[in-house]
Amino acid sequence: MSVYPRSIIVKDLLAKYCRISGADAPVNPFGSKQWEMQITTEDPAKIKELTDAGLTVKQDKNDPKIHTVNLKRKGIKADGNPNAPVKIVDSQLQPLAGDNIGNGSKVNVNLWQYEYEAPGRSGVATSLTAVQVTELVEYTPSAGFEAVETKPAEEKQLPF
């Protein structure tokens, strides 16, 4: 008997590259509407838990101790209707906007897994359902520049 569909919660992970806020899913570089984020861990037991859940766990190219998993939630369901957004809450289960979740924030994730069959392929899909931010590292967007001190323009007489 199949264990799918099922909901699983994975705790004590670090968040990276969060694009999970808003009622309307952002468009990824490939033109698909989806909410997405990456989770990371160095804990061997957590790596095993993620692997045992059927997730694709990748070793970081720059730091072999760090392992990552890409998570997503499609913005449009297979039937063409909009999908509900990712639920985002804080440690006290209060709603959180999610647009300021920075890299290194500590999170728990709720994932929905289900079997699928499509022409020529079948398997288990994972959809990001909810994120609980237990320790927020605030993301502050910047243009990448430092402030430049300028002198006020001198008033000159116009020649006419």
Task: Report the pLDDT value the prediction gives residue 106, as an integer from 0 to 100.
Answer: 98
Least Cα distance to 92 among 39, 132, 128, 137 occurs for 132
Q: What is the pLDDT of residue 144?
A: 77
- Are 137 and 104 contacting, i.e. CB atoms less than 8 angstroms apart? yes
DSSP secondary structure of 7-33: EEEEEEEEEEEEE--SSSPPBPTTS-B
Report pLDDT for 109: 98
Percentage of the chain beyond pLDDT 70 is: 94
User: What is the distance between the terminal CA atoms of the chain, rounded to a whole angstrom?
Assistant: 90
**Whether pLDDT at 11 is above 70:** yes
Burial annotation 62-87 (CB, 10 A radius, 16+ → b, else e): eeeebbbbbbbbbbeeeeeeebebbe
Q: Region 110-121: what's the mean pLDDT? A: 93
> What's the whole-number mean pLDDT along residues 20-42?
93
Residue 47 and residue 40 in contact, taking contact as beta carbons nearer than 8 Å: no
d(CA 16, CA 18): 6
What confidence score (pLDDT) does residue 150 get? 79
Over pLDDT 90: what percentage of the chain?
76
| Integer CA distances (angstroms), 7 to 3, 45, 59, 111, in order | 10, 20, 25, 6
Residue 153 has pLDDT above 70, yes or no: no
As a whole number, the mean pLDDT across the chain is: 92
